[in-house]
Structure 1
């Protein structure tokens, strides 16, 4: 008798595209009909960083950071081709492609609908988004295609480490080309808040859980 294979994808994950589109629509409607909401959110900033967004990002990526096993980095040398491809796409192609496409549409296709100042701001947002590789959702995509969980962890871990070195120079370079002034302090604070803190918290939590688990097992063994 054949047993039904479990995909491991929840209802929420299965229809993730739908939820994203609904959230985008809700955000647009709220911003248009209830402008007091975005105005209130804009006031909740420290050093140019939105506190509500920071909290939501922490909630999203903290569970992923707990799954990162830094010992697995030692296994990179056994099959590095996938990692090299990921690094090249994430850091040598994607940021510049995002910059090119955003410039094409914002200053070309939609130039009659968007003011130059607003287009420049949108371009800055696109660059910030394009220069940062996906982290938390990588595990979902890997599960959807039945990928190798251990290899996925290595990809995420190495990209998180590369972010600390490559993100700021790439963003600064691309935004400098567009004459958009973004201070280094804001970029470093963003990296610290959205990568370093969750990464450190996840690592500490992982170690604590492992230690507690070992202690609990030893306690059970002693009783037996």
Structure 2
């Protein structure tokens, strides 16, 4: 691991500061960039995420996908945590903090909206950034692809009824445009591009050429991550500076949820004797969120300036720093797991 990768958390912290400073200094510029979107999917962010994910997709070997069936427990663990544990634990933490712990600090109406936003985050498992976290722990990218794909399929059917149940509202209309556009931009296009690139390079330069190409792409992936952080924090610079106390309150249960879900999945993976390259991504998938979907539904149900929308945005802001810390924990505990043969 190079110096740059070794101190990635420091560079992310600096990117957060840079984002807030730039967003406050040039609000009109970043407002214009923020409006360059469709179905709540920002194309600037999408392009940067593509830069992050494409190097991982180049490493996908379709011939190896059949090996997933030899160890299906990683898939079952991912699905159980994402759909049977995570939504309900998020709802419970939201109620605990905003109905009881923070009851004297926020008004009841706002508290209910914050809880709603947190629930929407809990019901939307991550699609794109999972590949980044899997790469950072040297996870099995083929297995990660299957885990993400199954999550996406289940999300089509399970997101609306679980969200409606936990929010206590009627039928929720799934923002199909957001879901489909995100899947195409964040998974399908990078995957197709990666597969075609891999086939072309292997046919001409073999595996040594492939290794050199992936090594050259690595800095672009990291740069994409840092630029994404700058953009996300620049978009929300005003809210961060105007409502730091509320954002801090919302962040508390979200951070507890992330570390709690990670711990539950970690212990279950140990119990199932999963190899590290399957266990680590499984732990990380359960802790990250599909924030575009959560934001889109929050805005549709509660409005752009609602507490629910703010809560989903806070979820975006805390995700990268928290996930990097969990990547560090995963790598430090590699010795507690076996390696695949």
Distance 1:113 1:26 in 2: 30
Query: Match for residue 154 of structure 1?
Result: 142
Instruction: State yes or no: 1:126 paired with 2:121.
Output: yes
Unaligned runs of 5+ in 2: 210-341
Distance 2:106 2:173 in 1: 24
Query: Match for residue 80 of structure 2?
Result: 88
Query: Match for residue 66 of structure 2?
Result: 74
Instruction: State yes or no: 1:26 paired with 2:14.
Output: no
Alignment of 1:91-110 (within 5 A): 91-98=83-90, 100-101=92-93, 104-105=96-97
- Larger RCO, structures 1/2 (Cα 8 Å, 6+ apart): 2
Query: Match for residue 38 of structure 2?
Result: 46
- Alpha-carbon shift at residue 174 of structure 1 (Å): 4.6
Paired positions, count: 198
Listed one character per residue, the Cα deviations across residues 161-195 of structure 1 (whole Å, up to 9, x for unaligned) are: 21431233344345444357652222111111111
**22-31 vs 193-202, which deviates more?**
22-31
Listed one character per residue, the Cα deviations across residues 133-162 of structure 1 (whole Å, up to 9, x for unaligned) are: 5222212113xxxxxx6xx12321212321
Q: Is the 8 A contact 1:65 1:202 kept in 2?
A: yes
Listed one character per residue, the Cα deviations across residues 79-119 of structure 1 (whole Å, up to 9, x for unaligned) are: 33344334433444345444544565566655745846973
**201-210 vs 101-110, which deviates more?**
101-110
Query: Match for residue 220 of structure 1?
Result: none
Distance 2:197 2:49 in 1: 17
Unaligned runs of 5+ in 1: 1-8, 143-148, 218-224
Listed one character per residue, the Cα deviations across residues 199-224 of structure 1 (whole Å, up to 9, x for unaligned) are: 1111111111122235xx9xxxxxxx
Q: Is the 8 A contact 1:30 1:37 kept in 2?
A: no
**31-40 vs 173-182, which deviates more?**
173-182
- Alpha-carbon shift at residue 54 of structure 1 (Å): 0.5
Query: Match for residue 55 of structure 1?
Result: 47
- Alpha-carbon shift at residue 55 of structure 1 (Å): 0.4
Q: Is the 8 A contact 1:86 1:155 kept in 2?
A: no
**163-172 vs 116-125, which deviates more?**
116-125
Q: Is the 8 A contact 1:70 1:157 kept in 2?
A: no
Query: Match for residue 17 of structure 1?
Result: 9
Q: Is the 8 A contact 2:56 2:141 kept in 1?
A: no
**102-111 vs 199-208, which deviates more?**
102-111
Instruction: State yes or no: 1:138 paired with 2:130.
Output: no
Q: Is the 8 A contact 1:132 1:167 kept in 2?
A: no
Q: Is the 8 A contact 1:62 1:199 kept in 2?
A: yes
Distance 1:37 1:119 in 2: 29
- Alpha-carbon shift at residue 20 of structure 1 (Å): 2.6
